[in-house]
């Protein structure tokens, strides 16, 4: 199936998505890589609020390149999601509904997705320049000292992703292999 979704994502939308579905996202998404995730978890451990309301939001694992003159943002390809797996279950528990990245996820992340209702979405590695064309606005909202890894708020229009792991735990990395494996 192909879905055109507007953020924020509600639980009902997340529940209808299945591994292998194509999704075009429009609205607000946030960016954070490992250093920003570590800081966010530190804030929570200190009893502080996160820099944005994480409920029903999507985090894109990216450290975009600086924008050239006349561009909103530079190349914005996904980073390896496993780098943030240690921090992700807590954010899902707090209401994070979607994550965009590339690569495998830890079992603890998948279990949190199933328990609280979240999806893992894959963006195409190597297509950062094309992905950047779907980003119409960019704003650093926290941790500017982290440079490209600062926490950003992006406004996107028809940002293309594929559901890799759905809220039931169906995993395209596993089912895709089985589909093409010869017996």
Express each pLDDT in 49-90 by its tens digit.
999 999 999 999 999 999 999 999 999 999 999 999 999 999
For 76, the 3-state DSSP assignment is coil
Tell me which of 19, 23, 29, 37 is the catalytic residue: 37
C-alpha dihedral, 39 to 44 to 46 to 47, nearest 10°: 150
Dist. CA 85–CA 161, nearest whole Å? 20
Contact predicate 99/9, CB 8 Å: no
Instruction: List C-alpha distances in Å: 36 to 13, 15, 50, 113.
Output: 27, 28, 11, 21
- Say how many residues make up the chain: 183
Query: Given 3.20.130.10, 3.30.70.1380, 3.40.980.10, 1.10.357.10, which CATH number is that of 2-180?
Result: 3.20.130.10
How many Cβ atoms are within 10 Å of 11's Cβ, its own excluded? 13
How would residue 12 be classed by pLDDT, with cut points 50, 70 and 90? Answer: very high
Dist. CA 136–CA 132, nearest whole Å? 8
pLDDT at 177: 72
Whether 93 is catalytic is no
Provide the sign of the torsion angle of the four alpha carbons 45, 47, 52, 53, taken in this order.
positive
- Nearest partner of 8 among 62, 55, 50, judged by Cα: 55
pTM above 0.75?
yes
pLDDT at 140: 97
pLDDT digits (tens, 9 = 90+) for 106-156: 999 999 999 999 999 999 888 889 999 999 999 999 999 999 999 999 999
pLDDT at 182: 59
| % of the chain with per-residue pLDDT over 90 | 91
Domain boundaries, the chain: 2-180
């Amino acid at each position: 199936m192909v879905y055109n979704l507007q953020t924020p994502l509600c639980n009902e939308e997340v529940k209808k998505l299945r591994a292998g579905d194509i999704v075009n996202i429009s609205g607000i998404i946030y960016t954070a890589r490992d250093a920003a995730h570590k800081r966010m978890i530190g804030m929570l451990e200190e009893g502080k609020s996160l820099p944005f309301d994480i409920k029903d939001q999507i985090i894109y694992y990216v450290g975009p390149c600086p924008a050239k003159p006349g561009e909103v943002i530079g190349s914005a390809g996904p980073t390896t999601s496993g780098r943030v797996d240690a921090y992700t279950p807590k954010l899902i528990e707090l209401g994070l509904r979607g994550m965009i990245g590339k690569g495998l996820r830890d079992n603890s992340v998948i279990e949190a997705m199933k328990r609280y209702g979240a999806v893992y979405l894959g963006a195409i590695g190597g297509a950062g320049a094309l992905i950047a064309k779907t980003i119409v606005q960019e704003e650093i909202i926290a941790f500017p000292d982290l440079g490209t890894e600062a926490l950003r708020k992006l406004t996107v229009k028809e940002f293309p992703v594929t559901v890799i792991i759905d809220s039931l735990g169906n995993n395209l990395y596993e089912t895709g292999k089985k589909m093409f494996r010869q017996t």
